[in-house]
Amino acid sequence: MAAKVAARKPGVSLDRVPNNTEIEIVALPNDVEHMRMLGQLGIREQERAHVRAIAPLGGPILLEIGGSAVAIARGVAKRIRVRVI
């Protein structure tokens, strides 16, 4: 019996990226509500950003993207895939 290989998403989740890191967004959550909210914040696939701060104790992650500072909840950040530049 052949082992089933799980499909792997590209990149790493945003909550795993260290502070003060340049990133490129690879994939967003696959639901309309999150995609709409993230789009309004300027967070889109292939967009570059800078991780400015990571709040302790599961707090939000602060990104600088398109000249603006944006706070992303840790639960949402876990669903955003990025590539470290």
Token pair listed for 46 = 């292939």
Domains of the chain: 2-84 (2.30.30.90)
pTM equals: 0.83
Q: Per-residue pLDDT tens for 7-24?
A: 566 799 999 999 999 999
Burial status of residue 61 (CB atoms within 10 A of its CB: 0-12, 13-18, 19 or more): buried
* Alpha-carbon gap, residue 54 to 60, rounded angstroms: 6
Sorted by sequence, the CB contacts under 8 Å of residue 12 that are 6+ apart come out as 81, 82, 83, 84
Q: Per-residue pLDDT tens for 32-53?
A: 998 899 999 999 999 999 999 9
The one-character DSSP state at 78 is: T
